[in-house]
Chains A and B, each alone.
Chain A
Amino acid sequence: DAGITQSPRYKITETGRQVTLMCHQTWSHSYMFWYRQDLGHGLRLIYYSAAADITDKGEVPDGYVVSRSKTENFPLTLESATRSQTSVYFCASGAAGGNTIYFGEGSWLTVV
């Protein structure tokens, strides 16, 4: 029962490079979310998606791009990474009308 998986789990990249974090869920949940977690800020919502081909901005979307061509996948792309995007990124999913969201194990991203 894989549930929700993120890759890569750990990534170091250079400023200005493009980075894509992958998220895959096996539950066919309609909703998927990307959060970043930073000390002192808790978890902040970057983008979310209600269904395939439907995405919307969260609290901190600047510098990020998402797509959702298939229900099970929700990649997050940093088009030109900056040091301020060094963070732990969590993907989550949840059923439509549901009240619980399920998290992946996180992707640790360091931008040098």
Chain B
Amino acid sequence: SQQGEEDPQALSIQEGENATMNCSYKTSINNLQWYRQNSGRGLVHLILIRSNEREKHSGRLRVTLDTSKKSSSLLITASRAADTASYFCATDPNTGNQFYFGTGTSLTVIP
């Protein structure tokens, strides 16, 4: 399988705290993306980091990428109840334009 794996599988935090989730993958990649899925809905793109980048920010999101370890992390700062969702990483192997998703981290933010 080319899937990545997110860690932890589930995370529960208080509103205002930071949430960190990790993704490990198996093959070399062109880029890595993070998606969010609200319960019962489709996935929504959050942020993309290219293989030659090490860190990227978007609002309260911070993504890092370590290609030598084949891993990435997503940090959500100052979490809100509305951040409650599942978060998935997706990799685009060097063969291109095939997107493989991890198993997801379920985040619960308690008001």
Residues of A whose CB lies within 8 Å of any CB of B are: 31, 33, 35, 40-45, 48, 50, 58-59, 90, 92, 94, 96, 99-106
* Interchain CB contact under 8 A, A105 and B33: no
Given the complex, which residues of A lie within 8 Å of B1, measured CB to CB? 44, 59
- A90–B3 Cα distance when bound, in Å, is 16
Given the complex, which residues of A lie within 8 Å of B104, measured CB to CB? 42
* Interchain CB contact under 8 A, A94 and B3: no
- In B1-15, which residues have CB < 8 Å from any A CB? 1-3, 6
* Interchain CB contact under 8 A, B45 and A43: no
- A91–B59 Cα distance when bound, in Å, is 28
Please give the distance in Å from B2's CB to the nearest CB on chain A: 7
- Whether A42 touches B102, Cβ cut-off 8 Å, given contacts A99-B31, A99-B33, A100-B48, is yes
* Interchain CB contact under 8 A, B42 and A45: no
Please give the distance in Å from B30's CB to the nearest CB on chain A: 8
Please give the distance in Å from B58's CB to the nearest CB on chain A: 13
* Interchain CB contact under 8 A, B100 and A59: yes
Residue in B45, B88, B90, B99 with the greatest tally of chain A CB atoms within 10 Å: B99
* Interchain CB contact under 8 A, B98 and A48: yes
Number of interface residues of B (CB under 8 A): 24
Partner of B41, one of A41, A101, A106: A106
* Interchain CB contact under 8 A, A101 and B98: no
Partner of A42, one of B3, B45, B97: B3
- A41–B97 Cα distance when bound, in Å, is 21
- Whether A45 touches B100, Cβ cut-off 8 Å, given contacts A59-B1, A104-B42, is yes
Partner of B97, one of A43, A59, A96, A103: A96
B95-110 CB contact bits vs A (8 Å, 1 = yes)?
Answer: 0011111111000000
- A45–B92 Cα distance when bound, in Å, is 12
Partner of A90, one of B2, B43, B45, B97: B43
